[in-house]
Each structure stands twice: as structure tokens, then as C-alpha cells.
Homo-oligomer: A and B are copies of this chain.
Amino acid sequence: MLSKQEYEAAQKQTIKFLERANIVLIEEEKKAIEVADFGLGELEQTGLEVVVYANTSRCCAKELVLFPRQTCPEHLHPDVAGEEGKEETFRCRWGEVYLYVPGEPAPDPKAKPPQRRKEHYTVWHEIVLKPGQQYTLSPITKHWFQAGDQGAIVSEFSTISRDEFDIFTDPDIKRATEVGKQTI
């Protein structure tokens, strides 16, 4: 759970990151920034800040902000109601991000998952994304990512986003964020 203060502080921090990269939001978008702590209550380590630009039945675009060394935990996007799972392209806009997918494990990975949760990180093939670099993930592919020491901004271009169906490796994770007594 995050307190309202923590949630709003993370929104403000996200706005600063985006401004530094010259990415402009309108006021409504600033207020609607989603702060996801994945129910673990350790936002600095495990979390993600999200601006949803568009999410229709056919396609979706988001800006993802990661604070320094913040990790989006391992998950996949399953088929939903007979429709193929989400396909995503991650494009690094600012900072540096380390993305992990199935395949040959990195011998010396640049990211370190939160120590207590390491067992729930099972894919270790490393893709390093710097500004202008991108990677397209097929549906039903386990993945996780962590920002470098400066944080990162990543544009996500995808098919429809239905986060509530995401399957996380860590059984403690809840995708919806609780803020005070509200679930967002």
C-alpha cells in the first residue's frame, strides 16, 4: 500500500523526469499518472510510473518512467478471451534500461533484482536499451526490466493493454495499487 502522499510525490517525480526529457503532458495527464507499486510497498525498488496516451480495443501507447534502479517485476501478458496476448515494443527515450527475456542468460547482468525477491526473477537474457534503441516482445514472453543509475523513460507501443490480466512470477504481487484505502 502507498499513502496518498507517497503516490503524489511519485507523480511529481515522474513529471520532473519527463520534463527533463522535454516530454510534454497536459494537466489531466499529469493528474492521471499511474504509480504502480505492485502491492509490495517498496516503490523505490519495485515499481513503475505510467502515462497512458491511448488504449483502444486495437492499440495502445504509454510512456513508462523508472526511477534510478527501479524494477518492473517479471511478468507476461497472456491471451485474453481468445485474443492473442499483448505485443509490446519498448523504445528507450532517456536514460538506460536493462530488459530481460528468455534465452542465454547474461553472465554478469547489469540489473540486480531486489535481493529478497531474487527467486522470482527467472529469465536472464539481457537487452540493454539506450536512447533510440528498442525491442519488440512477442506475446506470452516472460520479461522484466530495471532502469540504470539515472532512471529511464521508455515509450511503449503495443496492442490493447489489460494490465489486470498480467501474470507475475512473484506470487506476492498485486497489479492494482492500493492508495490509502482506495484501489487504483
Where the two chains meet, the residues of A that have a C-beta atom closer than 8 Å to any C-beta of B are 21-26, 29, 53-54, 56, 58-61, 84, 87, 89, 91, 93, 131-134, 136, 155, 157-159
Contact = CB atoms under 8 A, between A and B. Distances in A.
A24 B132 CA distance: 5
Which residue among A24, A60, A136, A159 has the maximum number of chain B CB atoms within 10 Å of its CB? A24
A135 to B, nearest CB: 10
A120 to B, nearest CB: 29
A121 to B, nearest CB: 26
Contact of A157 (B61, B93, B133): B61
Contacts of A158: 59
List of 5 A-B pairs having minimum Cβ-Cβ separation, nearest first: A61-B157, A24-B131, A24-B132, A22-B22, A54-B89
B89 A53 contact: yes
Contact of A61 (B84, B89, B93): B89
B133 A26 contact: yes
Given A54-B134, A56-B89, A61-B61, 7 more contacts: A23-B93, A26-B132, A29-B132, A53-B134, A59-B89, A61-B89, A61-B91
A131 B136 CA distance: 27
Contact of A21 (B22, B87, B133, B134): B22
8 contacts: A24-B93, A26-B132, A53-B155, A54-B157, A58-B87, A59-B59, A59-B89, A157-B157
A87 B59 contact: yes
